[in-house]
């Protein structure tokens, strides 16, 4: 049974991805009782097989002035990591216009500063969990190398490094030879890079395993999980949400947190709320790691592919497709990821045991997540969504922020009610 303080609330968290579960964890730490609802099982959405990088110091948003010079190649190349399927959806077009506006240098720099602050809070939150609990998730702190193919992109990266350093990040610009000294598995690729940015204390972990461990810890603390149950409607009465509708019947609570990833917008729309989140599809493969596989996380900017070591496995992820909610796995994309492994690290991929995956990043135009109450939203409805390519990295920080806002706005009323009935 969950212990409830007089001022504690019953909070219903919608979504059992890394963001919803981290939120549930924080709410339990704050003394609330929690129910988590998901249309599937814990960690089976975008959190299932993502790039695995905890990218605390390297948060450059996709909406960046550098995107314009890359766009012709990204749109025209046959094997481009970017794919757009424009739809007759005004929300998608509005998102595109806001994305273009967010690419201005001043907006992008402001976004970077906000993301770095949130990432630092998230690192503190996840480190606290790892220090207190026995979490089996292939966690490592082996650092990260971001590889740049030419002088122009490396010069841009050094400018971003200067900005991130001024905001507290510890990072170094390396020559190709220095990058190979940090990760010898890159020896055959040195001629293809102009340089690399090294962040020595960056981490990696298996996001799915973290989700399953959080589920275990939360269940042990009495949190109720309602799985395989889609939420079909938020029911508003007198300026509040009093329940959510599901095929298994309504679920009532004092407060609700929407952490539905790429599914967040559909549920908010009937309330007249606009959540600027679109699904940005990506792919990954997970392979058994041979002795020659890298130990340091690597991001290859030329191919827009990330590599992370997870114990005895290597995770490789990439691609960004604006194609709606289609989660089908295109075999061509899997071949392309395997090709990237070969080009960057040589013949390290085994012939069998490759696990393909596709998932939908919940992407906002700026890259900043949607946290807390929205303008015009019911008093007890909070959002924690839109983390794009950084949801694993930011989950514990945004959980703290949303739980703080929820407690600050609803606890005084709960305390007054408890005092009246005492």
Ligand X SMILES: Cc1cc2nc3c(=O)[nH]c(=O)nc-3n(C[C@H](O)[C@H](O)[C@H](O)COP(=O)(O)OP(=O)(O)OC[C@H]3O[C@@H](n4cnc5c(N)ncnc54)[C@H](O)[C@@H]3O)c2cc1C
Nearest to 28 by CA among 250, 212, 216: 216
Of 99-138, binders to ligand X (CB under 6 A) are none
195 is a contact residue toward ligand X (CB under 6 A): no
- Residues 254 and 414 sit within 8 Å (Cβ to Cβ): yes
Q: Please identify which residue in 143, 195, 294, 362 interacts with ligand X, judged by CB under 6 A.
A: 362
How does DSSP assign 124-180, residue by residue?
HHHHHHHHHS---S--B---EEEEESSHHHHHHHHHHHHHHHHTT---EEE-HHHHH
Contact 337, 355 (CB under 8 A): no
Residue number, 194 or 319, with CB nearest to ligand X: 319
CA angle 331, 334, 336 (to 5 degrees): 110
Stretch that binds ligand X, among 47-55, 141-149, 173-181, 194-202 (CB under 6 A): 47-55
Interaction of residue 38 with ligand X, rule CB under 6 A: yes
Q: Is 45 in the site for ligand X (CB under 6 A)?
A: yes
Work out which of 7, 26, 53, 380 binds ligand X, going by CB under 6 A: 53
Work out whether 231 is an interface residue with ligand X (CB under 6 A): yes
Closest CB to ligand X among residues 157, 194: 157
Nearer to ligand X, 217 or 414 (CB): 217
Q: CB of 213 within 8 A of CB of 136? A: yes
Is residue 230 part of the contact set for ligand X (CB under 6 A)?
Answer: yes
Q: In the complex with ligand X, which residue's Cβ is closer, 14 or 34?
A: 14
Q: Which two tokens stand for residue 323?
A: 């194609």
Minimum distance of ligand X from residue 88's CB (angstroms): 23
Nearer to ligand X, 33 or 393 (CB): 393
- From candidates 61, 261, 276, 407, binder to ligand X by CB under 6 A: 261
Instruction: Report in angstroms how near the CB of residue 309 gets to ligand X at its nearest.
Output: 12
Minimum CB separation from ligand X for residue 15, in Å? Answer: 3
- The strand pair at 10-14 and 33-37 is best described as parallel
Nearest Cα residue to 260 out of 273, 95, 249, 107: 273
Q: Closest approach of Cβ 49 to ligand X, in Å?
A: 8
Q: How many CB atoms within 10 Å of residue 122?
A: 25
Kindly identify the residues of this chain, within the stretch 366-395, that bind ligand X according to CB under 6 A: 385, 387-393
Phi, psi of 220, deg, nearest 5: -65, -20
Structure tokens at 77: 């190349």
**Residue closer to ligand X, measured from CB, 30 or 206:** 206
Q: Check the CA dihedral 229-232-237-241 and report its sign.
A: positive
**Of the residues 193, 289, 317, 414, which one makes contact with ligand X according to CB under 6 A:** 317
Burial class (CB in 10 A: 0-12, 13-18, 19+), 173: middle
Q: Contact with ligand X (CB under 6 A): which of 9, 11, 18, 59?
A: 18
Find the shortest distance in angstroms from Cβ 151 to ligand X. Answer: 27
- Chain positions contacting ligand X, by CB under 6 A: 14-20, 37-40, 44-47, 50-53, 55, 230-231, 259-261, 263, 267, 282-284, 306, 317, 359, 361-362, 385, 387-393
């Amino acid at each position: 049974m969950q212990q409830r303080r007089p001022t504690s609330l019953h909070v219903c968290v919608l979504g059992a991805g890394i963001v919803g579960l981290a939120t549930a964890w924080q709410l339990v730490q704050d003394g609330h009782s929690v129910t988590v609802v998901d249309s599937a099982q814990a960690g089976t959405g975008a959190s299932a097989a993502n790039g695995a990088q905890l990218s605390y110091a390297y948060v450059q948003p996709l909406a960046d002035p550098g995107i314009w010079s890359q766009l012709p190649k990204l749109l025209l190349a046959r094997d481009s990591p970017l794919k757009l399927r424009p739809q007759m959806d005004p929300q998608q077009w509005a998102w595109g216009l806001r994305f273009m506006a967010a690419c201005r240098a001043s907006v992008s720099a402001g976004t970077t500063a906000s993301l770095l602050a949130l990432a630092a809070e998230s690192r503190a939150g996840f480190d606290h969990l790892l220090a207190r609990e026995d979490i089996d998730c292939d966690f490592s702190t082996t650092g990260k190398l971001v590889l740049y193919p030419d002088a122009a992109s490396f010069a841009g990266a050094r400018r971003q490094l200067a900005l991130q350093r001024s905001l507290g990040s510890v990072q170094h610009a390396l020559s190709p030879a220095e990058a190979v000294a940090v990760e010898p598995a890159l020896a055959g690729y040195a001629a293809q890079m102009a340089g690399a940015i090294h962040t020595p204390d960056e981490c990696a972990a298996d996001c799915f395993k973290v989700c399953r461990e959080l589920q275990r810890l939360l269940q042990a603390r009495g949190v109720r999980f309602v799985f395989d149950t889609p939420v079909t409607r938020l029911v508003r009465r007198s300026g509040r949400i009093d329940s959510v509708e599901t095929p298994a019947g309504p679920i009532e609570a004092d407060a609700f947190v929407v952490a539905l990833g790429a599914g967040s917008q559909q549920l908010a729309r009937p309330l007249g709320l606009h959540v600027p989140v679109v699904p940005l599809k990506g792919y990954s493969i997970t392979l058994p790691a041979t002795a020659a596989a890298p130990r340091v996380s690597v991001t290859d900017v030329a191919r827009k592919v990330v590599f992370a070591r997870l114990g005895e496995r290597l995770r490789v992820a990439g691609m960004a497709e604006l194609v709606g909610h289609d989660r089908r796995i295109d075999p061509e994309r899997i071949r392309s990821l395997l090709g990237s492994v070969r080009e960057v690290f040589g013949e390290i991929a085994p012939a069998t045991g490759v696990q393909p995956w596709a998932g939908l990043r919940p992407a906002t135009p700026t890259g900043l997540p949607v946290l807390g109450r929205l303008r015009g939203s019911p008093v007890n409805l909070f959002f924690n969504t839109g983390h794009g390519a950084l949801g694993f990295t930011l989950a514990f920080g945004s959980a703290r922020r949303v739980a703080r806002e929820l407690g600050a706005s609803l606890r005084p009323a709960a305390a007054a009610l408890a005092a009246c009935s005492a």
